[in-house]
Chains A and B, each alone.
Chain A
Amino acid sequence: MSVNQQDLDPDSTTDMEDVTNAEEELIKECEEMWKDMEECQKKLSLVGTETLTDSNAQPSLLIMQAKCLTAELSQWQKESPEIIPLNEEVLVTLGKEEFQKLRHDLELVLSTIQSKNEKLKEDLEREQQWFNEQQQILESLNVLHNELKHQVVTFSESRIFSELKTKMHDIKEYKEKLLVTLGEFLEDHFPLPDRNVKKKKKKKNIQESTVQLITLHEMLEILLNRLFDVPHDPYVKISDSFWPPYIELLLRNGIALRHPEDPTRIRLEAFHQ
């Protein structure tokens, strides 16, 4: 029954005889097919039945399937395709159906493509925006780069080396100058008491020290050297060559500090830390 069933309305009021003719033709064909089927049905009912058990199922089924498939194959080969009676009615109806299907499919395709288009447009816009932003970034970076180029001084190692050397030299000179100035200043304002004692005292001091006193400059030198040579123990033992008033002077002005446990040791205050 591969024929499309049309609306078989016997009370159709169309005057077109062609229509009824077409319908009658189709009905006739269907009736013939039905008769064929009834005959086949009768033949079939004469065939006996058989049931299967688990054991003989597979082989017998396979044989049966093979037989039926070959039969079907030969039937297909014998048969030539039958066309339904091609009169106008049928053709028109079939044509309409085909066109409807086609239209439906095309509409689907259209909508899909439209949505794809929109998505692509959105993507394009987004990418365009991103691209613009990147361009802006690139421009600003370029500007920055140009500015910086002008500020870069040519790099040369030897120049830096010589610069450092001159710096060192300047600093050393400065240090020398400072030390010299310090020495002069100390000599002028903090002389050793020898001259004073000689000038002032005529009577002999029993406690006159026989040790040679060292200048304040030398004392400071000793303290300074000790501080930098042995930073973890910058204490210097007070020797007799230190003139006590000068020690007091240093201590009172915070230039030197006593050892917290040992009063005979002093250190220089670490002004650089």
Chain B
Amino acid sequence: MSVLRPLDKQPGLNTATILLVGTEDALLQQLADSMLKEDCASELKVFSFFSHLARSLPLPSNVNRPRIDLIMFVVNLHSKYSLRNVEESLRHVDATFFLGKVGFLATGAGRESHCSVHRSTVVRLARTYRSPLLFCDPEVDGFRAPVAQRLVRMLQICAGHVPGVSALNLLSLLRSSENPTLEDL
């Protein structure tokens, strides 16, 4: 089994790559498109980033792909299958990735009645792997853009394009609900 490793290749010039792992292609495609629409022109740099949409890891090793800077595991709260898929894929990721270069994205939390996966499951998963958890409803236009913005920003930091902030720094800064007593209750 090939394991995905961070920093296994030289970085491209002015590029950052994000890998979206999830079972629903349409969702991932939407997210990828809105991320591409985000222009980082405010910093006078135009990023071209390749968002690889993968159903599950391991990725086929014959694909000539650039260095992955950020992996987002997309879990759809409406299907247990996507959760299982993500859990499977987690086994193919090198441990060093989890130092800030991995994130979980939970979709479909808006429609409670359709949720077959409970929110706390995803929260626990994110906590186990010490990674940030984001919520998103990509169908609603208004929600997609801010999440895309956040992802782009995270990606920038993980690719090292923001001077002075490393992925691990960001991770430490993102911890909000760190109180173990509350979560263990």
Residues on A close to B: CB < 8 A? 1-2, 5, 37-38, 41, 44-45, 49-54, 57-58, 60-62, 64-65, 68-69, 72
Residues on B close to A: CB < 8 A? 3, 5, 7-10, 14, 45, 87, 90-96, 98-99, 127-130, 160-161, 163-164, 166, 168-169, 171-172
| B169 neighbours in A (Cβ, 8 Å) | 72
- Inter-chain contacts of B98 with A (CB < 8 A): 52, 57, 61, 64
Q: Which chain A residue shows the least CB distance to B93? A: A51
B129 and A61 within 8 A (CB)? yes
Binding site secondary structure of chain B:
loop
- Residues on A with beta carbons closer than 8 Å to the beta carbon of B163: 2
21 A-B residue pairs with Cβ-Cβ distance under 8 Å, sorted by A, are A5-B14, A5-B45, A37-B10, A41-B10, A49-B94, A51-B92, A52-B95, A57-B128, A57-B129, A58-B130, A60-B95, A61-B98, A61-B130, A62-B130, A64-B96, A64-B98, A65-B99, A65-B130, A68-B99, A69-B168, A69-B172
**A50 B94 Cβ-Cβ under 8 A:** yes
- Option from A51, A58, A65 in Cβ contact (under 8 Å) with B91: A51
Question: Given the complex of chains A and B, what is the CA–CA distance between A60 and B5 in angstroms?
Answer: 17
Q: What's the Cα separation between A57 and B3 when bound, in Å?
A: 16
Give Cα distance in the complex from A1 to B45, angstroms: 13
Q: Which A residues are in CB contact (< 8 Å) with B164?
A: 2
Collect the chain B residues with CB atoms within 8 Å of residue A68's CB: 99, 168
Give min CB distance, B168 to chain A, whole Å: 6
A58 CB to nearest chain B CB (Å): 5
